[in-house]
């Protein structure tokens, strides 16, 4: 399993699955959610509305992960997961861990060979970037240990969009960021 750290725009990566740190409504929002919706075009919003109509009429619960088509992105699918919003509830690291692990399970079910993660929860949902990075590292290590012999996933890319997130991922994963990735 290869794990890389990329500093840049997650929407430009050529990976099988891009994880969206989604607003629970699935209807777009700020930060990475807004950037993914904008880059993917209107078909992503239509796919998210379909998920709401068929499975989650009130939006996705925190920790759940669901896949949609990727619209105009280079990825095959977008995996949407919502971190707990710290403006609304107390921190729950287990639910944040579930965001990472469930995203990996959904990606594997969609036969993804590569997946890109943002710092789920570290934006408008108020999580400390270092805590997010540490939880991501723990969750990914655990998932890889359980699934390494059966999963199609062979590349995981952690995507940093700020200096603080980059430093947190570098510390947690003991990696150095790269600017260009041939995915």
Active site residue 163: no
Distances (CA, A) of 64 to 21, 22, 161: 11, 11, 23
* Catalytic member of 33, 134, 141, 180: 33
Beta strand residue intervals within the chain, DSSP E:
2-7, 17-21, 65-69, 77-81, 114-117, 155-160
Residues facing 90 on adjacent strands: none
Distance CA 155, CA 3 (A): 6
Task: Round to the nearest angstrom and report the end-to-end CA distance of the chain.
Answer: 14
Three-state secondary-structure class, residue 122? coil
- Distance between CA atoms of residues 16 and 35, nearest Å: 18
Closest CA to 8 of 168, 161, 167, 163: 161
- Active centre residues (catalytic): 33
């Amino acid at each position: 399993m290869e794990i890389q750290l990329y500093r840049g725009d997650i929407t430009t990566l050529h990976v099988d699955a891009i994880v969206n740190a989604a607003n629970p409504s699935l209807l777009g929002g700020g930060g990475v959610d807004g950037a993914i919706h904008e880059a993917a075009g209107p078909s992503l919003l239509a796919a998210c509305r379909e998920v709401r109509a068929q499975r989650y009429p009130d939006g996705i619960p925190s920790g759940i992960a669901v896949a949609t088509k990727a619209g105009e992105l280079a990825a095959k699918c977008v995996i949407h997961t919502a971190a707990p919003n710290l403006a609304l509830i107390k921190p729950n690291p287990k639910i944040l861990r579930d965001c990472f692990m469930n995203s990996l399970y959904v990606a594997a079910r969609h036969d993804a060979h590569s997946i890109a993660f943002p710092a789920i929860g570290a934006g408008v949902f108020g999580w400390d970037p270092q805590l997010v990075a540490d939880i991501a590292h723990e969750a990914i290590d655990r998932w890889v240990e359980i699934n390494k012999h059966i999963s199609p996933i062979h590349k995981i890319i952690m995507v940093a969009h700020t200096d603080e997130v980059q430093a947190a991922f570098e510390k947690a994963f003991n990696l150095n960021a790269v600017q260009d990735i041939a995915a």
